Structure 1
Amino acid sequence: MELIGHRLSVEQWRAMLDDPAVVETVIFGDLDDDDAEMPEPDLDLDKSWHGLHYLLTGTAWEVGPGAGAAILGGDEIGDDGGYGPARVLSPEAVRSIDAGLAAIDPATLRERFDPAAMTTAEIYPAIWSGGEEAFDSFLAPRFQELREFYRTAAAEDAAVLLAIT
């Protein structure tokens, strides 16, 4: 399982709200065209998404305000692609998340990193016994990517589509 994100213009966002079937095309491309390639996401957190969510919220699945909505926040939209429906965040929500992420530095996340607690909470993937190395090589770089994704989306006044694939 990996989490991907796409920035959406206000027009794309409104079109998606009007016709949730657009979600599949944004994520997977034209499924009727055998030669079509899957669109590149603007964000690909790979398998780090659940660990980052835990560090941002202190929970396995609950969504919090601001940065706590960066991974699992938003309103469900479209069909269930196997790991739940995609979620869409309005430009206003994106700005709130961006502000929340900007207020958190990697040192704060490192302080929240508790491999034993993450293992007990069954945070995906089950790699936390690697200790600090798991944070340094796996979570910290993806956190920077997450911050940059939301920073760019907020600057563009964009909405965001998130999906676990």
Structure 2
Amino acid sequence: MSMIGEYLRVTATELHRAIRDPDWALHFVEEVQDAEEETEPAPAEARHFSTDKTWDMLRFLLARAEFPVNVIHGEEPFAEDADWGYGPPRYLRPERVRLAAESLRATSYDQLVSGVDPAELTSAEVYPLGWSEPGALEWGRHRYDGLTQFLEAAAGADDAVLVWLD
């Protein structure tokens, strides 16, 4: 089974409801995922986004760059008793989404991987391993760019973002 980084844009009203009713939130997530699975919108138009298995690689690279927002695990807990796959979901408030979007936009993927030796990822046991493969660091570029577009769109709409590992 794979661990997948997941995100859902939510309005202020939806965030308040999700915090009050985590079961509703999980049902809402599933509805949006099902609807978008058929249409496959671009990250800037999507309500749901996945970093797939690159989440831990991105976590490692962003931590190394002292990124100011925890976009990989979220920052605010809710539904602490719920398990959405690999632990409970968390969220980013709209102001943190804006800061994340600005910071991602200001940090290119090339800057993020500059000076990184794939052996560092292996040594740190970054999921899913296999960092000695040629071009392994390029694996995260598409997801990083997509996450940037997704969070920029969320920031532009003043949305919050739910974050979880599934």
Q: Please indicate, yes or no, whether the TM-score normalized by the shorter chain is above 0.5.
A: yes
Aligned-residue identity in percent: 31
Structure 1 residue 55 corresponds to structure 2 residue 58: no
Distance 1:39 1:77 in 2: 24
User: Could you tell me whether the CA contact under 8 Å between 1:16 and 1:22 is conserved in 2?
Assistant: yes
How far residue 161 of structure 1 moved from its aligned partner, in angstroms, is 0.6
Residue identity in the other structure for 2:8: H
Aligned-pair CA distance for 1:152: 0.4
Is 1:80 the equivalent of 2:86? no
Looking at structure 2, the residues matched to 9 and 16 of structure 1 have their Cα atoms a distance apart, in angstroms, of 10
| CA drift at 1:8 | 0.3
- Could you tell me which residue of structure 2 aligns to residue 14 of structure 1? 16
Change (3 A) 1:130 1:96: same
Distance in 2, Cα, partners of 1:38 & 1:16: 18
Q: TM-score, normalised by structure 1?
A: 0.83
Q: 1-side partners of 2:84 and 2:63: how far apart? A: 25
Matches within 5 A, 1:149-160: 149-160=150-161
Per the alignment, residue 132 of structure 2 pairs with 129
**How many residues end up aligned between the 2 structures?**
152
Alpha-carbon distance change, 27 to 114 in structure 1, aligned in 2, over 3 angstroms: farther
Tell me the TM-score normalised to structure 2 length: 0.82
Q: Is the 8 A contact 1:23 1:86 kept in 2?
A: no
Paired residue secondary structure (1:150): helix
Superposed CA RMSD: 2.1
| Post-superposition offset of 1:39 | 5.0
Structure 1 equivalent of residue 96 of structure 2: 93
Structure 2 segments unaligned to the other structure (5+ residues): 37-46
- CA positional deviation for 1:16: 1.2
**Are 2:99 and 1:105 aligned?**
no
SS state of the match for residue 7, structure 1? strand
Give a deviation string over 1:114-144, Cα, whole Å, max 9, x none: 211111111001121114x1122x1111110
1:28 maps to 2:17: no
- CA distance in 1: counterparts of 2:114 and 2:133, whole angstroms: 16
Distance 1:134 1:153 in 2: 29
